[in-house]
Amino acid sequence: MTETGELTFRRVHRASPELLFDCMTTPEHLTHFWGPTGTTTPIGNITIDLRPGGVFETTMVNDADGSTYTMRAVYVEVRRPERLVWIEADVEGGMRTTITFVDLHDGRTEVLTHQTNVPAAYLTAEAQAGFITSLDRFEVYLADLNK
């Protein structure tokens, strides 16, 4: 059996939980920030069936060489605007991602991303750094929305 672990990422954004939830569940938003720096996710490569049992699928394209990486998941829980949970069955062990949107009641929202059953390859410093660039891209996108 392959070793797995957990990861937690926290960010606070100057936006409502509703807007942040919509950004994470709408292809028109996701296409602007989904994936690490150096990748794009064309809107046609995003499938969302926003309900428990529904599909969440993205195919990122490497800007340098055109290679692709597809993430396939199934929603387990959808509670707008508080919580999203999905499981990536294709990842050994079934990696589970839970995103919680916490209204701080001052125009800001804390977004907590917690992943369990994370494969060892995703636990490396390099993989985590790549994921963090995706969170950074999300912040830039939100700043543009707030202009």
pLDDT (tens digit per residue) in 103-139: 999 999 999 999 999 999 889 999 999 999 999 999 9
Cβ proximity of 123 and 18 under 8 Å:
no
Q: What secondary structure letter does DSSP report for 38? A: T
Q: Report all structural domains of the chain as residue ranges with CATH numbers, in order of start.
A: 4-145 (3.30.530.20)
Low-confidence ranges of the chain (pLDDT < 70): 1-3
CA dihedral for 136, 114, 21, 90, sign (positive or negative): positive
**Which tokens is 34 given?**
């989904």
Give the pLDDT confidence score for residue 89 in this predicted structure. Answer: 86
**Which tokens is 136 given?**
């950074």
**Which tokens is 118 given?**
């994370």
Q: What is the pTM of this model?
A: 0.93
**Which tokens is 40 given?**
């794009």
Cβ proximity of 96 and 116 under 8 Å:
yes
